[in-house]
């Protein structure tokens, strides 16, 4: 009883801080707790939003979604997209950061130019790549033909389309990895590299035995951020291929979108969301641990 | 200062440097020239690298097609979702950086906010959609501003929290001794000191909201309310080959953001690490 009273007194004394935290707290609760509870609940129902049919069916959605060919394809596609995209974006970004290290003529304007792709609206990026990829009169196939090679179905070939979409993501987001890693590179004392070259370390030795270990935590963070972002890819798939040809570019986000907002099967869409959340939770644990390690919380 | 192996800039460097610039710039160049090409030039089987004249009709058509309405919607939603997030996170960030809440709540809350950032938006979309249908918030820019908090709020909270933590508390203590009220301190002392942080946060937040597509697609069905990303995607699917007009919209939609490139570069390359989270 006494404890409760001191607690209350403490809150009253500090009511200002409680009051100004509350609005943000309320919005965050509204945006997370309510939707997640709904998703969990709906995943156990056969629930069609248009016919308003809502029937408890236990784990039936879970077994039918996991054995659904299209869901499996979309899951594999998402993993490929996320893995290949992140790997190449961070790898190329790091290579660019190394390339731009030091002083040279035109460095500053070139840096600003290199971050242009991430400043262009995603939908505009998709539009221009659609014209470049166009089968009959697109520029890429024109160049291939000029070089004596056959036209390529960038977005029509089911074996290639996913990689064409990934390429657009790489074009747009490599600059992000680049700019973050080059800032990290600049924060390393020059003496470190000087010592390495006095010790006789060549270029690749300096990069892999000195630079990478020092930048490691930043590299990990960029990898995680790009993984989170590529894992949810939706707009590029929607604008470039619509999931096709066949289901060759369908991703998990696109699958959930189609189940939920084209067929209005909210139950199945929720179950697919649950499977996605399992993977997201794994990424989140690594990500949050990394940020706690940086000591920002 | 002696040169290290990372500094060497030989001929190979300049070749790679040029290749990078071409790869980056060519698609952007293509947006610009396509916007100024006539429909005939755009469907020519031999690509036209340099248009014969400035074909301005694309822009005329796009503006007649209601471009400014879409621009207004985009700007309205981006600015107001950012303002709303800034207000909430300015208050919350101050509380989190200046007061230790019981049960490690500061950490719990910040991690919770990160979780919002990590969740795929499409997962949140279904429950929010049914709720918004019930609340008649569909086809409503105000409703879109609420759901955009999913993107802008976590970002603003983390950014402003970082700036608050770096801000010395001496000024606040001095003002408190002089008898200033809590809100007075926040408004007259803290806000002016935080100005550059608030501006940086708002610019990044506006860019994020400007680009958003999924929620706009789901929550806006009325063509008059469409934001620019939605307008562009509908253009792609409906008029596949009107590339000139498509790129004209794209160019107009992108120019405002490209103008910020220098600023974004400056912020991000000066160890602006909070932009990471």
Neighbours of A266 (CB within 10 A): 26
Chain A window 148-207: which residues touch B at a Cβ cutoff of 8 Å?
Answer: 171, 175, 179-180, 182-183, 186-187, 190, 193-194, 196-197, 201-203, 206-207
Cβ-count burial of A48 within 10 angstroms (0-12 exposed, 13-18 middle, 19+ buried)?
A: middle
The residue among B42, B154, B177 whose CA lies nearest residue B93 is: B154
Residue of A nearest to B163 (CA): A296
Domain architecture of chain B: domains with CATH: 60-166+198-276 (1.10.3720.10)
* Nearest chain B alpha carbon to A261: B218
When CB atoms are compared, the residue of B125, B260, B276 closest to A119 is: B260
Q: Do A39 and B127 touch (CB under 8 A)?
A: yes
- A&B contacts, CB < 8 Å: 294
Contact A211, A197 (CB under 8 A): no
Asked if residue B75 lies in contact with residue B141, where contact means CB atoms within 8 angstroms, the answer is no
Contact B125 A260 (CB under 8 A): yes
Query: Where is A48: in which H helix or E strand?
Result: strand A45-48
What is chain A's Cα-based Rg? Answer: 25
CATH class of domain segment(s) A63-293: mainly alpha
**Interchain CB contact of A282 with B (< 8 Å):** no
**ipTM of the prediction greater than 0.85, yes or no:** yes
Judge whether A224 and A87 are in contact, CB under 8 Å.
no
**A191-199 contacts at long range (C-beta below 8 A, 24 or more positions apart):** A193/B4, A193/B5, A193/B6, A194/B2, A194/B4, A196/B4, A196/B5, A197/B2, A197/B4, A197/B5
- Residues in A closer than 8 angstroms to B119, CB to CB, are 32, 277, 280
Question: Do A252 and A78 contact (CB within 8 A), yes or no?
Answer: yes
Q: What angle do CA B28, A169, A137 make, to 5 degrees?
A: 55
CB contact under 8 A, B123 and A277: yes
User: For all residues of chain A together, what is the average pLDDT?
Assistant: 88
d(CA A120, CA A30): 32
Tell me whether residues B229 and A291 touch, CB distance under 8 A: no
pLDDT for B266 equals 82
> In B, which residues are within 8 Å of A296 by CB distance?
162, 277
Contact status, residue A139 vs residue B47, Cβ threshold 8 Å: yes
CA distance A6 to A4: 6
Contacts of A100 (CB under 8 A, 6+ apart): A107, A110, A111, A114, A178, A182
Selecting from A28, A113, A175 the residue whose C-beta is nearest the C-beta of B113 gives A28
Q: How many residues does chain B have?
A: 277
Kindly determine whether residue B98 and residue A17, on different chains, have CB atoms separated by under 8 Å: yes
Dihedral sign (CA A189, A191, A194, A196): negative
Give the DSSP letter of residue B108.
H
The reply to whether residue B96 touches residue A182, judged by beta carbons under 8 angstroms, is: no
This prediction has a pTM of: 0.90
Reference B216, options B224, B207, B206, B227; nearest CA is B227
Query: Which has the closest alpha carbon to A117: B220, B37, B22?
Result: B22
- The minimal CB distance from A20 to the residues B92, B250, B270 is found for B92
Cross-chain Cβ contact B126/A273 below 8 Å: yes
Residue of A220, A237, A79, A219 whose CA lies nearest to A169:
A237
Confidence (pLDDT) at A105: 85
Closest chain A C-alpha to B195 CA, distance in angstroms: 19
Portion 37-56 of A in contact with B at CB < 8 A? 38-39, 42, 49
| Spans of chain A below 70 pLDDT | 1-3, 295-297
**Cβ-based neighbours of A47, under 8 Å, separated by 6 or more:** A53, A54, A55, A265, A266, A267, A270
- Among B88, B75, B90, smallest CA distance to B197 is for B90
CA B74 to CA B212: how far, in whole Å?
Answer: 9
Domain definitions of chain A by residue range: 2-42, 63-293
Query: What is the mean pLDDT for each group of 10 consecutive residues in chain B (277 residues)?
Result: 69 90 93 86 78 82 88 94 95 91 88 87 90 88 92 91 87 87 88 89 90 92 90 83 87 87 80 50
Q: Best of B22, B103, B126, B255 to disrupt the A interface by mutation (most A CBs within 10 Å)? A: B126
CA-to-CA separations, B148 to A250, B59, B209, B230, in angstroms, rounded: 25, 30, 7, 15
Phi and psi based region of residue B271 (left: phi greater than 0; alpha: psi -120 to 50; beta: remaining)? left
What is the predicted pLDDT for the residue at B277? 44
Residues B249 and B241: their CA atoms lie apart, in Å, by: 14
Residue B226 exposure: Cα atoms within 13 Å on the Cβ side: 17
CA distance A135 to B95: 56
Query: Given the structure tokens 């590029």, which residue do they identify?
Result: A236
Rounded to the nearest angstrom, the minimum Cα separation between A159 and chain B is 23
């Amino acid at each position: 009883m006494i404890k409760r009273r001191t607690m209350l007194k403490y809150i009253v004394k500090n009511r200002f801080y409680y009051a100004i935290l509350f609005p943000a707290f309320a919005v965050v609760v509204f945006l997370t707790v309510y939707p997640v509870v709904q998703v969990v609940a709906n995943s156990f129902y056969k629930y069609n939003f248009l016919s308003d049919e809502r029937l408890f069916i236990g784990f039936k959605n879970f077994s039918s979604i996991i054995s659904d060919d299209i869901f499996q394809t979309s899951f594999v596609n998402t993993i490929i997209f996320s893995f290949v995209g992140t790997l190449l974006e961070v790898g190329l970004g790091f290579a660019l950061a190394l390339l731009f290290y030091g002083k040279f003529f035109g460095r500053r304007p070139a840096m600003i130019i290199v971050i242009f792709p991430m400043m262009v609206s995603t939908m505009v990026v998709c539009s221009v790549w659609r014209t470049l990829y166009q089968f009959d009169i697109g520029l890429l196939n024109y160049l291939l033909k000029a070089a004596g090679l056959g036209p390529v179905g960038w977005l029509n070939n089911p074996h290639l389309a996913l990689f064409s979409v990934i390429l657009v993501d790489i074009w747009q987001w490599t600059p992000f990895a680049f700019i973050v890693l080059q800032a990290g590179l600049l924060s390393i004392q020059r003496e470190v590299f000087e010592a390495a070259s006095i010790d006789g370390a060549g270029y690749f030795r300096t990069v892999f035995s000195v630079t990478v270990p020092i930048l490691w935590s930043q590299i990990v963070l960029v990898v995680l951020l790009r993984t989170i972002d590529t894992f949810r890819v939706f707009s590029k798939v929607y604008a470039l291929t619509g999931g096709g040809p066949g289901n060759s570019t369908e991703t998990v986000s696109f699958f959930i979108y189609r189940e939920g907002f084209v067929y209005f099967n909210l139950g199945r869409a929720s179950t697919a969301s649950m499977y996605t959340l399992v993977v997201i939770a794994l990424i989140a644990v690594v990500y949050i641990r990394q940020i706690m390690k940086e000591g920002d919380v | 200062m002696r040169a290290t192996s990372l500094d060497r800039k030989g001929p190979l460097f300049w070749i790679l440097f040029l290749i990078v610039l071409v790869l980056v710039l060519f698609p952007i160049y293509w947006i610009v020239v396509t916007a100024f090409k006539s429909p005939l030039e755009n469907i020519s089987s031999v690509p036209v690298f340099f248009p014969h004249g400035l074909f301005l009709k694309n822009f005329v058509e796009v503006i007649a097609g209601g471009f400014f309405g879409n621009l207004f919607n985009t700007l309205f939603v981006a600015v107001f979702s950012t303002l709303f997030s800034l207000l909430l996170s300015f208050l919350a960030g101050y509380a989190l950086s200046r007061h230790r809440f019981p049960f490690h709540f500061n950490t719990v809350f910040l991690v919770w906010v990160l979780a919002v950032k990590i969740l795929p938006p499409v997962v949140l979309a279904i429950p929010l959609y049914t709720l918004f249908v019930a609340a008649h918030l569909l086809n409503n820019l105000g409703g879109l501003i609420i759901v955009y908090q999913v993107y802008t709020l976590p970002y603003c909270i983390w950014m402003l929290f970082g700036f608050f933590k770096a801000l010395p508390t001496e000024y606040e203590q001095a003002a408190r001794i002089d008898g200033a009220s809590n809100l007075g301190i926040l408004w007259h002392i803290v806000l002016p000191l935080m100005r550059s942080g608030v501006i940086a946060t708002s610019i990044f937040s506006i860019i994020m909201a400007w680009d958003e597509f999924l929620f706009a697609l789901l929550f806006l069905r009325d063509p008059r309310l469409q934001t620019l990303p939605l307008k562009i995607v509908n253009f792609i699917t409906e008029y596949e080959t009107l590339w000139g007009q498509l790129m004209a919209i794209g160019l107009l939609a992108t120019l405002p953001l490209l103008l910020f490139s220098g600023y974004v570069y400056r912020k991000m390359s000066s160890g602006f690490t909070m932009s990471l989270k």
